[in-house]
Amino acid sequence: MRTVISLAAAIALAFSLAACNRAESPSEVNEDVAEARQDGAEEVAEAREEAAETTAEHQDEIADAASNDVEDLPEEQANATRDTADAQYDVAIAQAEATQNIEQEKCEALAGDAQEACKDSAESAFEMAKADAQLKRDAARQAAAA
């Protein structure tokens, strides 16, 4: 009995691995890409909205400090710079993730090694965009600390 279960599990695993790099139909890929685009657009819009709220909050705080307590102005400006850099980072990451998801869905039209290479390329592009966003955020935060 144990042998039968082990054999069945091995066969199921083999079929699942074989299906991993199979090409999807063009209509299925188009549907998946459209869904990834929609989801990505929503995520990016949400990140942009949050960034705009952060900027608006800090503009109010800076204006208040400039009017009421000038001594607090440099600290408020530094806080605004740091928080704005973080918000811009979040937008950049949302954009990079959206692009990665779209590209990975497009890769589903390919099969085998081509699909794997396509997905690797999408992952590499994401990692580069992420690193770029981190560099920009870190530079802005260092400028705020100076």
**What ranges do the domains of the chain cover?**
24-145
**CA-CA distances (angstroms) from residue 115 to 23, 40, 90?**
8, 21, 29
The 10 Å Cβ neighbour count of residue 126 is 19
Mean pLDDT of 4-28: 65
CA gap 19, 116 in Å, rounded: 13
What are the pLDDT digits (tens) for 37-81?
999 999 999 999 999 999 999 898 888 888 888 888 888 888 999
Residue 111's pLDDT is what?
A: 94
Place of tokens 């998801």: 101
CA gap 6, 71 in Å, rounded: 73
The 10 Å Cβ neighbour count of residue 123 is 13
Residue 123's pLDDT is what?
A: 97
Residue 2's pLDDT is what?
A: 58
Mean pLDDT of 82-100: 97
Q: Are 103 and 125 in contact (CB under 8 A)?
A: yes
Name the average pLDDT for the chain: 88
pLDDT higher than 50, residue 16: no
CA gap 82, 76 in Å, rounded: 10
Q: For residue 139, give both structure tokens.
A: 């530079």
Percent of the chain with pLDDT over 70: 86
What is the chain's length?
146
